[in-house]
Chain A
Amino acid sequence: MSNVTREEPVSSSPKIARRLDPAIATAFGCIILLLIIGSFYSTSFLSPQYLLQQLKVASFLGVIATGMMIVILLGQIDLSVPWSIAVGGMMACAAAAYGPAGEVLAIPFGIVCGMAIGLANGIGVAYLRIPSMIITLATNAVAQGLMVLYTGGFSPQDSATFAMRYLATGFLLPAIPNAVLIWAVIGSGTVFALTRTTFGRSVYGIGNRESAAYLSGINTRRIVLIAFIASGALSAFGGALLAGYASKAAQSMGDAYLLPSIAAVVLGGTSILGGRGSYLGTVAGVILITLLQSILSVMQMPEAGRQIIYGTVIIAMLLLYGRSPANR
């Protein structure tokens, strides 16, 4: 029994054709299907103008969903997104009131405020081990309270700075809105971080098996903390961009982004339990959700119908590819 036959060990990674994740393929398929359906209503849905416009609007959700995705990859969730967005937008605008230095520091200041919310979430989840669903809910309420207090007490400045407006609505390259460029930059940064850095590996590792990651000597608490801070920062940056897009910040600006950001991430094939998912999927999910909302809006579908279609599409797509494996 000692002469065990052995295959030659594989020396270097063979070029296995990267299997296209069925989730991502389906999501992109649905995008095309939506556009085709839309084009029966009006051929404008296929015009580059409309598509670029959608891409631009999707960029804001894209930036926000990026943070949500990192947190979901850990197997957690961030329900403080709405008010992190508002805090980002409002604080960025507020900073602008303080002279030229304020103008320059506006966006960074907004992001730092978002990071503070993320820090509170991260400490709660990583160090106190409070379920993320509940601690982020609480920090969301606190952030709201702070913003109400701030608005009422400080005669706030809420006009976006030139930089914010330029980033959200300007054109650095002809025909390609800056917002899309920003999303592309953040997106490629995220892809890089998730696939090429120790941080990204650790995120997937923790999402897969936190105990194994911990025993491998990863400082899991720090990674979780960083992930929540990143989520807060990205939400806040999304808020600053939204403020730039609308030229101003408002309290309710984040309300409409919580559920779509979760839905976009999950529709893109990321497992809500963590550890599995790719950024390309999130891109598909974001575009899909934006397009769906836009087409229903332009078709003047009443709100009731929109909600029903929205829910049904999500369930249908998840039933197509998002089911967990049958046990036993």
Chain B
Amino acid sequence: MITSESPATTPLFKMSGVSKRYGGVHALENAELTVKPGRIHAILGENGAGKSTLIKIMAGVVAPDEGQMLLNGRPVSFRSPAEACAAGVTCVFQELSLIPDLSVADNICIAAPPRHFGLINRKAQRAIAEEMLARAGAEDVHPRALVKDLSLSRRQLVEIAKALAWKPRILILDEGTSALTATDVAKVFSVLRRLRSEGLALLYISHRMQEIAELADECTVLRNGRNVMSFAAGTRSGSEIVEMMIGREYSNAFPPKPARATADTAPPPLECRKLCWGDSLRDISLAVGRGEVVGLGGLDGQGQREMLLALFGVLRGTTGSVLVDGKPVTLTSPAVARSKHIGMALIPEDRKTEGLMLEMTVRENLSFAVLDRVSKGGVIDRKKEGQLIDEMVQLLAIKTAGFDIPVSELSGGNQQKVVIAKWLMRRPRIVLLNDPTRGIDVGTKQEIYQLLRRLAEAGAAILFYSTDYDELIGCCDRVLVFYKGSIVRELRDGGITQHALVASALNVEGEKAESAA
């Protein structure tokens, strides 16, 4: 069926009717994808649209439930990443697959190191590593350095170099630039362009529309696991593409923001001045008022997480001051941060490692953060615990078959609700949220937005980090945009738009100013 096409546009790889389900979630449904050599193919979609799932299937990490894949016209199915790589399909994953305790050179050649007499030839390996690092534009990374000692952006480049060592025909980058600075991004782009000219097929996933406009030859948009459309780059406007990705009006999803009382003379519940922590936080000053929802924006990894962790007492060696209700406080641990006179709560980013004890019961998880309140002299008052839990479960409409089943048996969204509920039980006055809606379905998201608003109305001060711009737009009274550990811009009310967020996140003006200086 592909014979009639000219060689230049002959698909190298074709995927059709591919579906993948995780429990009740359709991560992919009937997905189609055609990849041609010498082209950069962008895949677009919201968080959770199924992009990563799609390329994991291509790369042999995940087995599809149905559908078929053709490589050079021949049906293939990969049982492991190694098989896919050997066939020429190599992926740079969103979660890095580097081994922290091994050197860069070891990592680059991990799967098929050069050998003589059966042993790894380190000289040859070194040569390969240097070559690949150069191709990936990371000449400054020493091949003997240990991966765990590298910064995140260097690791990304090493990951690309590692992929190149496979001599792939199809190279996939899943948000391969999300942690990179603009200069590094430019470097990677030139590398990618060169690879394109060498005839590789490139699949590129990114949330940065700008990059896609600059780089892509073709685009495919996914939404809720389905193909929306494939088209040649430049044939659709940016806003059309966003429309396709989102496919709905966002205003509906969010509760209305109340008009803010203007003159609140009381000291703000949370304020910090000149907060610094290494390179990740530089002179951060901000204040969150009663009933206010303040968003943290910007690209991922610009210091937003560190900001929340610093406030919650997790980081050592922070400088600057934090004031709660106008009084300076010293935050040395989460135990202090949650204490009565401070009343902070942090909804963590990764519920599996930071939020829940997966093997413990729903009850135990829910009451974990309020153990001090439901107990007397260290003995848990089961009745009081039960009441509180009942209330909270009602409030958040958590769907569970009972309180005494392991929380791991709940669906992801309900697990996330448990994490939130466990903190709401403390009735916190300051709520820090670290990207709480990741991997959660739309309905649950809406409930969470409403809850946020209700909390704010009840007087809480809320600091809300999200990687999803729509959420920031829909939920926040103000958004502070982070860039390289500093707040570069404050957006308020009507000023919080997709464009403003993206522009300030990339620090377009700032970069320009920097390069001009």
Contact = CB atoms under 8 A, between A and B. Distances in A.
A and B touch in the complex (CB under 8 A): yes
Interface of A: 1-2, 4, 6-7, 9-14, 16, 196-199, 201-202, 204-205, 208-209, 211-219, 275-276
Given A16-B402, A205-B368, A214-B334, A276 B359 contact: yes
B379 interface: yes
B335 A219 contact: yes
Contacts of B337: 217
A189 to B, nearest CB: 12
Contact of B360 (A204, A214, A215, A218): A204
B6 interface: no
B4 interface: no
A209 B356 contact: yes
Contacts of B390: 11-12
A162 to B, nearest CB: 33
Contacts of B398: 9
Contacts of B380: 196-198, 201
A216 B379 contact: no
Contact of B364 (A14, A16, A201, A276): A201
Contacts of A204: 357, 360, 364
A277 to B, nearest CB: 11
Given A11-B390, A196-B380, A217-B335, A209 B358 contact: yes
Nearest to B393: A9
Given A208-B357, A211-B353, A10 B403 contact: yes
A254 B485 CA distance: 56
22 contacts: A1-B248, A6-B397, A7-B399, A9-B393, A9-B400, A10-B400, A12-B390, A16-B402, A16-B404, A197-B378, A197-B379, A201-B367, A204-B364, A205-B357, A205-B360, A208-B358, A209-B354, A212-B355, A213-B368, A215-B354, A217-B334, A276-B359
A13 B403 contact: yes
A85 B348 CA distance: 43
Contacts of B338: 217
Given A197-B379, A205-B357, A212-B355, A12 B386 contact: yes
Contacts of B364: 201, 204-205
A198 B369 CA distance: 10
A216 B368 contact: yes
A209 B353 CA distance: 7
Interface of B: 248, 252, 312, 314, 333-335, 337-338, 346, 348, 353-360, 363-364, 367-369, 371-372, 375, 378-380, 382, 386, 390, 393-394, 397-405, 422, 442-443, 446
Contacts of B378: 197-199
Nearest to A11: B390
A211 B382 CA distance: 25
Contacts of B312: 215
Contacts of A216: 334, 368-369, 422
Contacts of A14: 401-402
A211 B349 CA distance: 12
Contact of A198 (B333, B372, B446): B372
A25 B53 CA distance: 41
Contact of B382 (A10, A16, A196, A219): A196
A218 B333 CA distance: 9
Given A13-B386, A216-B368, A197 B375 contact: yes
Contact of B356 (A199, A212, A214): A212
B470 to A, nearest CB: 15
Nearest to A206: B357
7 closest A-B pairs by beta carbon, nearest first, are A208-B357, A4-B443, A217-B338, A198-B371, A217-B334, A13-B403, A216-B369
A217 B369 contact: yes
B405 A16 contact: yes
Contacts of A202: 371
Contacts of A205: 357, 360, 364, 368
A14 B358 CA distance: 20
A196 B375 CA distance: 9
Given A204-B364, A212-B354, A215-B346, A1 B442 contact: yes
Taking chain A's interface residues, is the majority helix, strand, or loop, or is none over half, making it mixed?
A: loop
A2 B446 contact: yes
B443 A208 contact: no
Contact of B404 (A2, A9, A13, A211): A13
Contact of A212 (B353, B401, B404): B353
A180 to B, nearest CB: 26
Nearest to A218: B335
Nearest to A276: B359
Contacts of B348: 212, 215
Nearest to A202: B371
A36 B443 CA distance: 59
A276 B386 CA distance: 23
Nearest to B444: A4
Given A1-B442, A1-B443, A196-B380, A6 B369 contact: no
Nearest to A219: B335
A108 B442 CA distance: 60
Nearest to A196: B380
B356 A215 contact: no
Contacts of A276: 359
A199 to B, nearest CB: 6
B24 to A, nearest CB: 13
Given A1-B443, A16-B404, A219-B333, A209 B357 contact: yes
A16 B372 CA distance: 27
B397 A9 contact: yes
A2 B379 CA distance: 43
B371 A201 contact: yes
Contacts of B346: 215
Contacts of A11: 390, 394
Given A13-B403, A201-B371, A276-B359, A215 B397 contact: no
Contacts of B446: 2
A315 to B, nearest CB: 24
Given A6-B399, A215-B334, A217-B334, 7 more contacts: A196-B382, A197-B378, A198-B379, A204-B360, A211-B353, A218-B334, A275-B357
A198 B370 CA distance: 10
Contact of A9 (B335, B360, B386, B399): B399
Contacts of B442: 1
A276 B360 CA distance: 8
A328 to B, nearest CB: 10
Nearest to A6: B397
Contacts of B367: 201
Contacts of A7: 399
A70 to B, nearest CB: 15
A215 B378 CA distance: 20
Most B CB atoms within 10 A — which of A2, A10, A11, A12? A10
A127 B420 CA distance: 30
B359 A208 contact: yes
Contacts of A196: 379-380, 382
B269 to A, nearest CB: 18
Contacts of A213: 357, 368
A132 to B, nearest CB: 20
Contacts of A197: 375, 378-380
A160 B367 CA distance: 46
A218 B386 CA distance: 20
Contacts of B363: 13
A290 B337 CA distance: 48
